[in-house]
Amino acid sequence: MSKRNRQPDTVPRGVTLHLQRDPEDCRRQTERIAVCVHAFMTVKPKG
């Protein structure tokens, strides 16, 4: 539960404010970002 209150330093201020305003939308956004990051890490471009 306390996880939501601690924001990592990498999260921009606007995002943090948005998270506090709409936690449900924040969760969806986070999931989307996680999927993108996972895809990027898995399929690294060669070169």
7-39 pLDDT, tens digit per residue, is 555 666 666 665 567 777 778 888 888 887 888
Coil/strand/helix, residue 14:
helix
Total domains in the fold of the chain: 1
| pLDDT at site 1 | 46
The verdict on residue 37 lying in a domain is: yes
| pLDDT at site 12 | 65
Give the span between the Cα atoms of 2 and 42, in whole angstroms.
30
The verdict on residue 27 lying in a domain is: yes
The verdict on residue 1 lying in a domain is: no
The verdict on residue 4 lying in a domain is: no
What pTM did the predictor assign? 0.36
Residues spanned by the domain of 32:
10-42
